[in-house]
A = this chain, B = another copy of it.
Amino acid sequence: MAATDSQPPVGQMSTARLETFADGVFAIAATLLILNVSATAALGSGDLGRQLLHIWPSYVGYGVSFLTIGIMWANHHTLMNQIGRTDRRFVMLTIGLMMFIAFVPFPTRLVAEQIRDNDARAAALAYGITMTGASIFFISVWLYASRGRRLLRADADPRTVRGITRTYLPGTPLYLTATLLAIVSPVTSVVMFAAIAIFYLIESSIFGGSRSDDAPDG
């Protein structure tokens, strides 16, 4: 929507249209998460009240995945805010990121349904691999665009650019750690994924007010 996007040179995708597609995938992937809860509830039988309490991991899974997708969406915005133009490689990397974001509902359902069973390990691993894949594409999109200021806006502040890199870089190692944890303890792994989302939320509530506009927000 930035004024600079209004008439992209031939052969470039406007950042506006890239964002429309990306926002669509983020919004749909997040909203589809509710189908998991619905499907899990339909599996049960007996007293509905008890059943609705019994599937609490579905609500937690819904919350954690919705929040994680929401945070990635917010971060994607922060990133796109610095981008002045695109090229085909950038578009392809974004499609790769979207492929992992859209995948999230599947392992979310696996974790919600299996976390109390013997199959918790496979479910947590599937969740972790998806999240790690998403974070790898996320940092790739950013590093590709910011390396040598390749696709940055002419007026992108170097301090902000470095701040974003610093904020996003730990994502992949963090998610990879949580994923590997699943081999030892699926529950701990899943708790760590929830903790990452909640940590970001708390950090946003402390530093994300409108008075901290000078800080890089990631």
- A residues with a Cβ closer than 8 A to B are 1-3, 5-14, 16-17, 19-21, 23-39, 41-42, 47-49, 52, 62-63, 66-67, 70-71, 73-74, 77-78, 81-82, 85, 87-92, 95, 98-99, 102-103, 105-106, 109-110, 114, 119, 121-123, 125-126, 150-151, 156-157, 160, 201, 204-205, 207-210, 212-217
Contact = CB atoms under 8 A, between A and B. Distances in A.
Of the candidates A8, A21, A49, A150, the one having the most CB atoms from chain B within 10 angstroms of its own CB is: A21
Q: A interface, by DSSP: helix, strand, loop or mixed?
A: helix
Contacts of A160: 10-11
Contacts of A90: 210
A212 B12 CA distance: 10
A74 B109 contact: no
25 contacts: A1-B6, A3-B6, A10-B82, A10-B156, A11-B214, A11-B217, A13-B77, A28-B28, A30-B98, A31-B32, A32-B32, A37-B103, A38-B39, A38-B106, A39-B42, A73-B95, A74-B88, A85-B210, A87-B210, A88-B207, A88-B209, A89-B209, A91-B208, A92-B205, A150-B210
Copy number in the complex reads: 4
A34 B106 contact: yes
A5 B52 CA distance: 43
Contact of A52 (B9, B35, B122, B209): B122
